[in-house]
Amino acid sequence: MAVRVEAINDLGGECLYVHLDVKSEESWASAISETVNRFGKLDILVNNAGVASFFMLEELSVNEWDRVMDINAKGVFLGTKAAIPEMRKAGGGSIVNISSISGFTGQSYVSAAYNASKGAVRIFTKSTAIQYASESIRANSIHPGPIDTPMTAFREGDPAAIAASIARIPLGRSGVPDDVAYGVLYLASDESSFVTGSELVIDGGYLAQ
């Protein structure tokens, strides 16, 4: 992580790394405090932490359900709750929540807990957007399809799994992190100043079928 921070700073950016447990209200308070102390304000929040789960429903334990919901859904709630007071002080802000195409549709190859957590993020984002629009605090969700990240690395070495995944995507390839990052950049920026409560699907056409 230190190497990434140095790389950003070397390129002319200004980066601060703060360890954060998204399941902890205290950890969120500390991270936001450090951020505001360093940069003077907080006007952008990207809730990006997430875990996958692949159990069939009858194999799904309560502990696994809680793990997925705590990180994927509770983490978004706690981050948003902690950020809003500072965004209010800043005169507004943009919250970008990373959901998934799994927040739109059920899938046989992921856990019901994962679908439920991403669906929760989707509707939570809309609720946030409506409640805080009058304070110029926007909230939008992004819904990626299959993206080549460590979360999908389990497919490496399994050509059949990779082929099956790509077969579901009209554009014929998995996404890469930059595909999602550019969507985040748009929703975090003033170019999307009239966009709130919306869902940006980045899935190569998966949901268009």
CATH number at residue 79: 3.40.50.720
Q: Is 20 part of any domain?
A: no
Q: Is 17 part of any domain?
A: no
Which regions in the chain score pLDDT beneath 70? 1-3, 153-157
Q: Is 5 part of any domain?
A: no
- The reported pLDDT for the residue numbered 178 is 96
Q: What is the pTM of this model?
A: 0.94
Q: Is 143 part of any domain?
A: yes
What angle do helix axes 112-132 and 75-90 make, rounded to 10 degrees? 20
Give buried/exposed letters for 85-118 (b at 16+ CB in 10 A, else e).
Answer: ebbeebeebbbbbbbbbbbbeeeeebbbbbbbbb
Q: Is 153 part of any domain?
A: yes
Domain boundaries, position 175: 42-208
Q: Which residues contact 115 (CB under 8 A, 6 or more apart)?
A: 102, 103, 106, 107
- Which active-site residues does the annotation give? 114
- The reported pLDDT for the residue numbered 133 is 98
Q: CA 26 to CA 21: how far, in whole Å? A: 9
> Position of tokens 């009239």?
194
- The reported pLDDT for the residue numbered 74 is 98
